[in-house]
Structure 1
Protein backbone atom coordinates (compact mmCIF):
# COMPACT_ATOMS: atom_id res chain seq x y z
CA UNK A 1 0.00 0.00 0.00
CA UNK A 2 1.32 3.49 -0.81
CA UNK A 3 2.02 5.82 2.06
CA UNK A 4 -0.86 8.21 2.71
CA UNK A 5 -0.12 11.93 2.96
CA UNK A 6 -2.44 14.53 4.45
CA UNK A 7 -1.98 17.94 2.79
CA UNK A 8 -3.19 20.83 4.96
CA UNK A 9 -3.27 24.23 3.25
CA UNK A 10 -5.98 26.83 2.71
CA UNK A 11 -4.57 27.74 -0.72
CA UNK A 12 -6.24 25.53 -3.33
CA UNK A 13 -3.40 26.10 -5.81
CA UNK A 14 -0.79 24.90 -3.30
CA UNK A 15 -2.91 21.86 -2.45
CA UNK A 16 -3.21 21.06 -6.16
CA UNK A 17 0.56 21.38 -6.67
CA UNK A 18 1.29 19.15 -3.68
CA UNK A 19 -1.38 16.64 -4.66
CA UNK A 20 -0.02 16.28 -8.20
CA UNK A 21 3.57 16.08 -6.94
CA UNK A 22 2.70 13.39 -4.40
CA UNK A 23 0.55 11.37 -6.81
CA UNK A 24 3.40 11.31 -9.35
CA UNK A 25 5.61 9.93 -6.58
CA UNK A 26 3.05 7.15 -5.94
CA UNK A 27 1.68 8.45 -2.64
CA UNK A 28 -1.98 8.43 -1.69
CA UNK A 29 -3.28 11.91 -0.86
CA UNK A 30 -6.01 13.37 1.34
CA UNK A 31 -6.56 17.09 1.84
CA UNK A 32 -7.78 19.66 4.35
CA UNK A 33 -8.20 23.42 3.98
CA UNK A 34 -8.30 24.36 7.66
CA UNK A 35 -7.30 23.13 11.11
CA UNK A 36 -10.67 21.59 11.97
CA UNK A 37 -10.68 19.51 8.79
CA UNK A 38 -7.02 18.59 9.33
CA UNK A 39 -7.71 17.15 12.77
CA UNK A 40 -10.76 15.27 11.46
CA UNK A 41 -8.83 13.81 8.51
CA UNK A 42 -5.91 12.90 10.74
CA UNK A 43 -8.21 10.90 13.02
CA UNK A 44 -10.25 9.35 10.22
CA UNK A 45 -7.61 8.60 7.60
CA UNK A 46 -4.57 7.76 9.79
CA UNK A 47 -2.06 9.30 7.36
CA UNK A 48 1.60 8.36 7.38
CA UNK A 49 2.65 12.00 7.07
CA UNK A 50 1.12 15.47 7.29
CA UNK A 51 2.29 18.42 5.17
CA UNK A 52 1.10 21.33 7.31
CA UNK A 53 0.78 24.99 6.44
CA UNK A 54 0.83 27.34 9.43
CA UNK A 55 -1.37 30.13 8.08
CA UNK A 56 -4.73 28.39 8.41
CA UNK A 57 -7.97 30.41 8.49
CA UNK A 58 -9.42 29.02 11.73
CA UNK A 59 -6.33 28.32 13.88
CA UNK A 60 -2.60 28.81 13.76
CA UNK A 61 -0.99 25.66 12.41
CA UNK A 62 1.49 25.66 15.28
CA UNK A 63 -1.38 25.08 17.71
CA UNK A 64 -2.42 21.78 16.14
CA UNK A 65 1.01 20.14 15.81
CA UNK A 66 0.78 18.50 19.29
CA UNK A 67 -2.76 17.31 18.52
CA UNK A 68 -1.72 15.79 15.21
CA UNK A 69 1.12 13.95 16.94
CA UNK A 70 -1.05 12.86 19.89
CA UNK A 71 -3.79 11.35 17.72
CA UNK A 72 -1.63 9.26 15.41
CA UNK A 73 1.80 8.14 14.28
CA UNK A 74 2.09 10.53 11.34
CA UNK A 75 5.27 12.50 10.82
CA UNK A 76 4.63 16.23 10.51
CA UNK A 77 6.43 18.38 7.94
CA UNK A 78 5.62 22.07 8.18
CA UNK A 79 5.40 23.68 4.73
CA UNK A 80 5.02 27.41 5.29
CA UNK A 81 5.90 30.84 3.98
CA UNK A 82 6.90 31.83 7.50
CA UNK A 83 10.68 31.91 7.60
CA UNK A 84 11.37 33.54 10.97
CA UNK A 85 13.77 31.56 13.13
CA UNK A 86 11.45 31.63 16.14
CA UNK A 87 8.63 30.09 14.06
CA UNK A 88 10.88 27.25 12.91
CA UNK A 89 12.17 26.59 16.41
CA UNK A 90 8.62 26.66 17.80
CA UNK A 91 7.41 24.15 15.21
CA UNK A 92 10.28 21.76 15.90
CA UNK A 93 9.90 22.09 19.67
CA UNK A 94 6.18 21.33 19.35
CA UNK A 95 6.94 18.05 17.58
CA UNK A 96 7.30 18.80 13.87
CA UNK A 97 9.80 16.53 12.13
CA UNK A 98 10.94 19.11 9.60
CA UNK A 99 10.28 22.59 8.25
CA UNK A 100 10.21 23.46 4.54
CA UNK A 101 9.89 27.13 3.58
CA UNK A 102 7.69 28.30 0.70
CA UNK A 103 8.39 28.69 -2.13
CA UNK A 104 9.84 25.19 -2.15
CA UNK A 105 11.51 22.87 -4.62
CA UNK A 106 9.25 19.84 -5.08
CA UNK A 107 12.17 17.41 -5.36
CA UNK A 108 13.66 18.67 -2.10
CA UNK A 109 10.25 18.36 -0.43
CA UNK A 110 9.91 14.76 -1.64
CA UNK A 111 13.41 13.98 -0.39
CA UNK A 112 12.61 15.41 3.05
CA UNK A 113 9.39 13.41 3.09
CA UNK A 114 11.20 10.17 2.20
CA UNK A 115 13.66 10.70 5.06
CA UNK A 116 10.87 11.38 7.54
CA UNK A 117 8.87 8.33 6.45
CA UNK A 118 11.95 6.14 6.59
CA UNK A 119 12.43 7.04 10.24
CA UNK A 120 8.76 6.42 10.96
CA UNK A 121 9.02 2.89 9.57
CA UNK A 122 12.17 2.20 11.55
CA UNK A 123 10.20 3.02 14.69
CA UNK A 124 11.15 4.74 17.90
CA UNK A 125 13.94 2.38 18.96
CA UNK A 126 17.33 4.02 19.20
CA UNK A 127 19.59 2.86 16.36
CA UNK A 128 22.89 1.22 17.24
CA UNK A 129 24.70 1.77 13.95
CA UNK A 130 24.09 4.68 11.57
CA UNK A 131 25.55 4.71 8.07
CA UNK A 132 25.77 7.58 5.63
CA UNK A 133 27.82 6.85 2.54
CA UNK A 134 31.27 5.74 3.71
CA UNK A 135 30.61 7.16 7.18
CA UNK A 136 29.59 4.75 9.95
CA UNK A 137 28.65 5.77 13.49
CA UNK A 138 28.50 3.06 16.15
CA UNK A 139 26.43 4.70 18.85
CA UNK A 140 26.92 2.01 21.50
CA UNK A 141 30.71 1.79 21.17
CA UNK A 142 31.17 5.48 20.27
CA UNK A 143 33.27 4.54 17.26
CA UNK A 144 33.14 6.63 14.08
CA UNK A 145 34.75 5.44 10.84
CA UNK A 146 35.09 7.02 7.43
CA UNK A 147 36.10 4.73 4.60
CA UNK A 148 36.87 2.01 7.13
CA UNK A 149 39.32 4.22 9.04
CA UNK A 150 38.46 5.10 12.62
CA UNK A 151 38.34 8.83 13.37
CA UNK A 152 39.49 10.32 16.64
CA UNK A 153 36.72 12.44 18.16
CA UNK A 154 36.67 14.25 21.47
CA UNK A 155 34.04 13.37 24.05
CA UNK A 156 31.97 16.44 23.16
CA UNK A 157 32.23 15.71 19.44
CA UNK A 158 30.96 12.17 20.09
CA UNK A 159 28.09 13.57 22.15
CA UNK A 160 26.96 16.02 19.47
CA UNK A 161 27.41 13.66 16.54
CA UNK A 162 25.62 10.88 18.40
CA UNK A 163 22.60 13.10 19.05
CA UNK A 164 22.43 14.15 15.39
CA UNK A 165 22.87 10.54 14.25
CA UNK A 166 20.01 9.31 16.42
CA UNK A 167 17.79 11.76 14.54
CA UNK A 168 19.48 11.64 11.14
CA UNK A 169 17.74 13.81 8.59
CA UNK A 170 15.95 15.89 11.24
CA UNK A 171 16.83 19.36 12.44
CA UNK A 172 17.91 19.44 16.09
CA UNK A 173 17.66 22.93 17.58
CA UNK A 174 20.62 24.65 19.20
CA UNK A 175 18.81 24.62 22.53
CA UNK A 176 18.20 20.89 22.40
CA UNK A 177 21.81 20.08 21.48
CA UNK A 178 23.16 22.32 24.23
CA UNK A 179 20.81 20.87 26.86
CA UNK A 180 21.59 17.27 25.87
CA UNK A 181 25.35 17.57 25.37
CA UNK A 182 26.41 20.25 27.85
CA UNK A 183 23.81 20.55 30.56
CA UNK A 184 23.21 23.39 32.99
CA UNK A 185 26.42 22.86 34.94
CA UNK A 186 28.65 23.62 31.95
CA UNK A 187 27.29 27.08 31.03
CA UNK A 188 26.43 26.01 27.46
CA UNK A 189 26.66 28.58 24.69
CA UNK A 190 25.95 28.43 20.98
CA UNK A 191 29.53 29.55 20.32
CA UNK A 192 30.83 26.33 21.91
CA UNK A 193 28.51 24.29 19.73
CA UNK A 194 29.70 26.07 16.59
CA UNK A 195 33.30 25.16 17.42
CA UNK A 196 32.36 21.49 17.89
CA UNK A 197 30.43 21.45 14.61
CA UNK A 198 33.33 23.06 12.76
CA UNK A 199 35.75 20.45 14.10
CA UNK A 200 33.35 17.62 13.28
CA UNK A 201 33.00 18.82 9.71
CA UNK A 202 36.76 18.94 9.29
CA UNK A 203 37.10 15.36 10.53
CA UNK A 204 34.07 13.85 8.80
CA UNK A 205 34.60 15.49 5.41
CA UNK A 206 38.40 15.57 4.99
CA UNK A 207 40.29 15.33 2.77
CA UNK A 208 37.87 16.12 -0.10
CA UNK A 209 34.42 17.19 1.07
CA UNK A 210 31.52 16.95 -1.39
CA UNK A 211 28.76 18.89 0.33
CA UNK A 212 28.53 19.21 4.07
CA UNK A 213 27.66 16.10 6.07
CA UNK A 214 26.24 18.34 8.80
CA UNK A 215 23.77 20.89 7.45
CA UNK A 216 23.22 24.23 9.15
CA UNK A 217 19.64 25.50 9.49
CA UNK A 218 20.54 29.16 10.00
CA UNK A 219 19.64 30.36 13.47
CA UNK A 220 17.73 27.15 14.23
CA UNK A 221 20.05 24.18 14.57
CA UNK A 222 21.80 21.36 12.73
CA UNK A 223 20.93 18.19 10.87
CA UNK A 224 23.03 15.20 9.89
CA UNK A 225 22.20 14.79 6.22
CA UNK A 226 20.66 11.46 5.29
CA UNK A 227 21.39 9.72 2.00
CA UNK A 228 18.36 10.30 -0.20
Structure 2
Protein backbone atom coordinates (compact mmCIF):
# COMPACT_ATOMS: atom_id res chain seq x y z
CA UNK A 1 0.00 0.00 0.00
CA UNK A 2 1.44 3.39 -1.01
CA UNK A 3 0.21 6.55 0.76
CA UNK A 4 1.10 9.78 -1.06
CA UNK A 5 0.49 13.07 0.76
CA UNK A 6 2.75 16.06 1.40
CA UNK A 7 1.03 16.82 4.72
CA UNK A 8 2.94 14.73 7.28
CA UNK A 9 0.03 14.74 9.74
CA UNK A 10 -2.46 13.43 7.18
CA UNK A 11 0.03 10.86 5.89
CA UNK A 12 0.81 9.64 9.40
CA UNK A 13 -2.84 9.26 10.36
CA UNK A 14 -3.78 7.50 7.11
CA UNK A 15 -0.76 5.18 7.31
CA UNK A 16 -1.52 4.42 10.97
CA UNK A 17 -5.10 3.38 10.26
CA UNK A 18 -4.05 1.24 7.31
CA UNK A 19 -1.34 -0.42 9.41
CA UNK A 20 -3.88 -1.23 12.13
CA UNK A 21 -6.13 -2.71 9.43
CA UNK A 22 -3.31 -5.13 8.56
CA UNK A 23 -1.76 -3.49 5.49
CA UNK A 24 1.94 -2.98 4.81
CA UNK A 25 2.35 0.72 4.11
CA UNK A 26 4.95 2.77 2.24
CA UNK A 27 4.83 6.58 2.09
CA UNK A 28 5.81 9.33 -0.33
CA UNK A 29 5.55 13.11 0.15
CA UNK A 30 5.79 14.33 -3.47
CA UNK A 31 4.85 13.31 -6.98
CA UNK A 32 8.23 12.20 -8.38
CA UNK A 33 8.94 10.05 -5.31
CA UNK A 34 5.52 8.45 -5.59
CA UNK A 35 6.08 7.52 -9.25
CA UNK A 36 9.52 6.11 -8.44
CA UNK A 37 8.24 4.05 -5.47
CA UNK A 38 5.36 2.64 -7.52
CA UNK A 39 7.79 1.71 -10.32
CA UNK A 40 10.25 0.03 -7.95
CA UNK A 41 7.68 -2.03 -6.03
CA UNK A 42 4.23 -2.19 -7.57
CA UNK A 43 1.73 -1.46 -4.77
CA UNK A 44 -1.58 -3.25 -4.39
CA UNK A 45 -3.26 0.17 -4.06
CA UNK A 46 -2.28 3.85 -3.93
CA UNK A 47 -3.92 6.42 -1.64
CA UNK A 48 -3.10 9.58 -3.56
CA UNK A 49 -3.51 13.23 -2.60
CA UNK A 50 -4.46 15.53 -5.47
CA UNK A 51 -2.26 18.50 -4.51
CA UNK A 52 1.40 17.45 -4.44
CA UNK A 53 4.76 19.14 -5.04
CA UNK A 54 6.74 18.16 -8.11
CA UNK A 55 3.89 16.40 -9.92
CA UNK A 56 0.23 16.78 -9.00
CA UNK A 57 -1.92 13.77 -8.18
CA UNK A 58 -3.52 13.67 -11.63
CA UNK A 59 -0.14 13.32 -13.35
CA UNK A 60 1.05 10.80 -10.76
CA UNK A 61 -2.10 8.75 -11.38
CA UNK A 62 -1.55 8.86 -15.15
CA UNK A 63 2.07 7.72 -14.87
CA UNK A 64 1.32 4.95 -12.41
CA UNK A 65 -1.56 3.66 -14.53
CA UNK A 66 0.68 3.63 -17.63
CA UNK A 67 2.58 0.75 -16.01
CA UNK A 68 -0.50 -1.33 -15.22
CA UNK A 69 -3.94 -1.32 -13.58
CA UNK A 70 -3.01 -0.33 -10.02
CA UNK A 71 -6.10 0.67 -7.99
CA UNK A 72 -6.04 4.33 -6.88
CA UNK A 73 -8.09 6.04 -4.16
CA UNK A 74 -7.70 9.80 -4.53
CA UNK A 75 -7.89 12.39 -1.75
CA UNK A 76 -9.46 15.70 -2.79
CA UNK A 77 -10.26 19.01 -1.11
CA UNK A 78 -13.84 19.75 -0.16
CA UNK A 79 -15.89 21.38 -2.91
CA UNK A 80 -13.44 20.72 -5.76
CA UNK A 81 -15.92 18.76 -7.87
CA UNK A 82 -14.03 19.44 -11.08
CA UNK A 83 -10.87 18.00 -9.54
CA UNK A 84 -12.74 14.90 -8.39
CA UNK A 85 -14.10 14.37 -11.89
CA UNK A 86 -10.63 14.82 -13.37
CA UNK A 87 -9.29 12.24 -10.93
CA UNK A 88 -11.88 9.72 -12.06
CA UNK A 89 -11.17 10.52 -15.69
CA UNK A 90 -7.47 9.68 -15.35
CA UNK A 91 -8.29 6.31 -13.82
CA UNK A 92 -8.84 6.74 -10.06
CA UNK A 93 -11.15 4.00 -8.75
CA UNK A 94 -12.56 6.00 -5.87
CA UNK A 95 -12.09 9.30 -4.06
CA UNK A 96 -12.45 10.60 -0.51
CA UNK A 97 -13.09 14.27 0.23
CA UNK A 98 -11.10 16.14 2.88
CA UNK A 99 -11.79 16.44 5.75
CA UNK A 100 -12.51 12.72 5.93
CA UNK A 101 -12.96 9.91 8.41
CA UNK A 102 -9.91 7.60 8.47
CA UNK A 103 -12.23 4.65 9.12
CA UNK A 104 -14.27 5.51 6.04
CA UNK A 105 -11.05 5.69 4.03
CA UNK A 106 -10.05 2.21 5.21
CA UNK A 107 -13.49 0.87 4.24
CA UNK A 108 -13.19 2.46 0.80
CA UNK A 109 -9.70 0.96 0.37
CA UNK A 110 -10.96 -2.49 1.37
CA UNK A 111 -13.90 -2.18 -1.02
CA UNK A 112 -11.65 -1.28 -3.96
CA UNK A 113 -9.25 -4.11 -3.12
CA UNK A 114 -12.10 -6.62 -2.99
CA UNK A 115 -13.15 -5.59 -6.46
CA UNK A 116 -9.59 -5.72 -7.72
CA UNK A 117 -8.69 -9.07 -6.18
CA UNK A 118 -11.87 -11.12 -5.88
CA UNK A 119 -12.94 -12.89 -9.06
CA UNK A 120 -16.61 -12.46 -9.99
CA UNK A 121 -18.87 -15.47 -10.24
CA UNK A 122 -17.60 -17.95 -12.80
CA UNK A 123 -19.67 -18.19 -15.92
CA UNK A 124 -19.68 -17.96 -19.68
CA UNK A 125 -18.47 -14.96 -21.65
CA UNK A 126 -20.93 -12.10 -21.96
CA UNK A 127 -21.31 -11.08 -25.60
CA UNK A 128 -23.14 -8.30 -27.40
CA UNK A 129 -22.26 -7.23 -30.92
CA UNK A 130 -18.53 -6.34 -31.01
CA UNK A 131 -18.23 -6.65 -27.23
CA UNK A 132 -17.13 -9.80 -25.39
CA UNK A 133 -16.43 -9.98 -21.68
CA UNK A 134 -15.01 -12.82 -19.58
CA UNK A 135 -16.15 -12.26 -15.95
CA UNK A 136 -13.85 -14.93 -14.49
CA UNK A 137 -10.66 -13.64 -16.15
CA UNK A 138 -11.81 -9.98 -16.03
CA UNK A 139 -11.01 -9.54 -19.72
CA UNK A 140 -13.06 -7.55 -22.20
CA UNK A 141 -12.62 -7.13 -25.95
CA UNK A 142 -14.14 -4.91 -28.63
CA UNK A 143 -13.98 -6.34 -32.13
CA UNK A 144 -11.33 -8.77 -30.94
CA UNK A 145 -9.10 -6.02 -29.47
CA UNK A 146 -8.61 -6.19 -25.71
CA UNK A 147 -9.94 -3.19 -23.79
CA UNK A 148 -7.91 -1.48 -21.06
CA UNK A 149 -10.62 -1.01 -18.43
CA UNK A 150 -10.34 0.13 -14.84
CA UNK A 151 -11.96 -1.98 -12.11
CA UNK A 152 -15.10 0.14 -12.06
CA UNK A 153 -15.34 0.38 -15.85
CA UNK A 154 -15.18 -3.42 -16.13
CA UNK A 155 -17.87 -3.91 -13.47
CA UNK A 156 -20.05 -1.24 -15.08
CA UNK A 157 -19.75 -2.80 -18.53
CA UNK A 158 -20.54 -6.25 -17.11
CA UNK A 159 -23.65 -4.85 -15.42
CA UNK A 160 -24.81 -3.23 -18.66
CA UNK A 161 -24.26 -6.46 -20.60
CA UNK A 162 -26.29 -8.40 -18.04
CA UNK A 163 -29.21 -5.96 -18.30
CA UNK A 164 -29.64 -5.16 -22.01
CA UNK A 165 -32.51 -2.89 -23.00
CA UNK A 166 -33.28 -1.88 -19.42
CA UNK A 167 -33.12 1.73 -18.22
CA UNK A 168 -30.75 1.94 -15.24
CA UNK A 169 -30.82 5.00 -13.00
CA UNK A 170 -27.59 6.48 -11.66
CA UNK A 171 -28.71 5.73 -8.10
CA UNK A 172 -29.23 2.06 -8.98
CA UNK A 173 -25.87 1.86 -10.73
CA UNK A 174 -24.13 3.42 -7.73
CA UNK A 175 -25.85 0.96 -5.41
CA UNK A 176 -25.39 -2.22 -7.45
CA UNK A 177 -22.04 -1.58 -9.17
CA UNK A 178 -20.26 0.54 -6.56
CA UNK A 179 -22.01 -0.92 -3.51
CA UNK A 180 -22.75 2.56 -2.17
CA UNK A 181 -26.12 3.60 -0.76
CA UNK A 182 -25.15 7.25 -1.13
CA UNK A 183 -22.48 9.30 -2.87
CA UNK A 184 -21.77 11.84 -5.60
CA UNK A 185 -23.71 10.69 -8.67
CA UNK A 186 -21.21 12.46 -10.94
CA UNK A 187 -19.01 9.42 -10.25
CA UNK A 188 -21.41 7.34 -12.35
CA UNK A 189 -21.60 10.01 -15.06
CA UNK A 190 -17.82 10.17 -15.40
CA UNK A 191 -17.43 6.39 -15.59
CA UNK A 192 -20.16 6.08 -18.24
CA UNK A 193 -18.40 8.76 -20.29
CA UNK A 194 -15.04 6.99 -19.93
CA UNK A 195 -16.62 3.66 -20.85
CA UNK A 196 -18.21 5.15 -23.97
CA UNK A 197 -14.80 6.41 -25.08
CA UNK A 198 -13.56 2.81 -25.05
CA UNK A 199 -16.54 0.88 -26.48
CA UNK A 200 -18.34 3.29 -28.81
CA UNK A 201 -17.27 3.86 -32.42
CA UNK A 202 -18.28 7.52 -31.96
CA UNK A 203 -18.51 8.45 -28.25
CA UNK A 204 -20.21 11.74 -29.14
CA UNK A 205 -23.05 9.73 -30.72
CA UNK A 206 -23.28 6.59 -28.60
CA UNK A 207 -25.10 3.61 -30.07
CA UNK A 208 -24.50 1.06 -27.30
CA UNK A 209 -24.91 3.07 -24.08
CA UNK A 210 -27.73 5.57 -24.52
CA UNK A 211 -28.70 8.37 -22.15
CA UNK A 212 -32.35 8.36 -21.12
CA UNK A 213 -32.70 11.97 -20.07
CA UNK A 214 -33.94 12.50 -16.54
CA UNK A 215 -33.74 8.76 -15.78
CA UNK A 216 -30.34 7.18 -16.45
CA UNK A 217 -28.74 4.95 -19.09
CA UNK A 218 -29.70 2.01 -21.27
CA UNK A 219 -27.48 -0.57 -22.98
CA UNK A 220 -28.83 -1.27 -26.47
CA UNK A 221 -27.48 -4.49 -28.02
CA UNK A 222 -26.78 -4.24 -31.75
CA UNK A 223 -29.46 -5.81 -33.99
CA UNK A 224 -29.12 -9.56 -34.24
CA UNK A 225 -27.51 -10.00 -30.81
CA UNK A 226 -28.85 -13.13 -29.04
CA UNK A 227 -30.80 -12.44 -25.83
CA UNK A 228 -28.75 -12.58 -22.63
CA UNK A 229 -29.31 -15.34 -20.09
CA UNK A 230 -30.93 -14.17 -16.84
CA UNK A 231 -28.50 -13.49 -14.02
CA UNK A 232 -29.34 -14.71 -10.49
CA UNK A 233 -29.77 -11.81 -8.09
CA UNK A 234 -27.27 -13.39 -5.70
CA UNK A 235 -24.55 -13.20 -8.33
CA UNK A 236 -24.93 -9.42 -8.46
CA UNK A 237 -24.99 -8.69 -4.74
CA UNK A 238 -22.33 -6.25 -3.59
CA UNK A 239 -21.01 -6.03 -0.06
CA UNK A 240 -21.66 -2.68 1.56
CA UNK A 241 -20.19 -1.50 4.83
CA UNK A 242 -20.97 1.71 6.69
CA UNK A 243 -19.86 2.97 10.07
CA UNK A 244 -20.59 6.14 12.00
CA UNK A 245 -17.40 7.72 13.27
CA UNK A 246 -16.44 10.91 15.01
CA UNK A 247 -12.80 11.43 14.15
CA UNK A 248 -11.90 13.27 10.95
CA UNK A 249 -8.73 14.36 9.24
CA UNK A 250 -8.85 18.06 8.41
CA UNK A 251 -5.95 19.47 6.38
CA UNK A 252 -6.78 23.00 7.58
CA UNK A 253 -6.63 22.15 11.29
TM-score for the superposition, normalised by structure 1: 0.63
2:73 is the alignment partner of 1:60? no
Matched with 1:191 is: 214
Equivalent pairs counted in the alignment come to 178
> Over residues 76-102 of structure 1, what are the superposed CA-to-partner deviations in whole Å (9 max), with x where a residue is unaligned?
000122532211111101100001011
Which runs of 5 or more structure 1 residues have no equivalent in the other structure? 128-136, 144-153, 197-223
2:10 aligns to what? 14
> Could you tell me how far apart the structure 2 residues matched to 1:30 and 1:16 are?
11
Indicate the structure whose relative CO is greater, using CA pairs within 8 Å and at least 6 residues apart.
2
User: Given the superposition, is the C-alpha separation of residues 111 and 58 from structure 1 closer, same or farther in structure 2, using an over 3 Å criterion?
Assistant: same
- Partner residue of 2:135? 126
Structure (1/2) with the larger helix percentage: 1
Aligned-pair distance for 1:191? 2.6
Q: Which residue of 1 aligns with 2:126?
A: none
1:157–1:121: structure 2 CA closer, same or farther, 3 Å change rule? same
Q: Give the match's secondary structure for 2:54.
A: coil
Q: 1:92-103, aligned counterparts within 5 Å?
A: 92-103=88-99
Classify 1:159/1:189 alpha carbon distance in 2 versus 1 (closer, same or farther; 3 Å): closer
How well do the aligned residues superpose, as a CA RMSD in angstroms?
A: 4.0
Residue 193 of structure 1: CA displacement?
2.4
TM score, norm. by length of structure 2:
0.57
Give me the whole-angstrom Cα distance separating, in 2, the residues matched to 1:15 and 1:24.
14
Matching residue of 1:113: 109
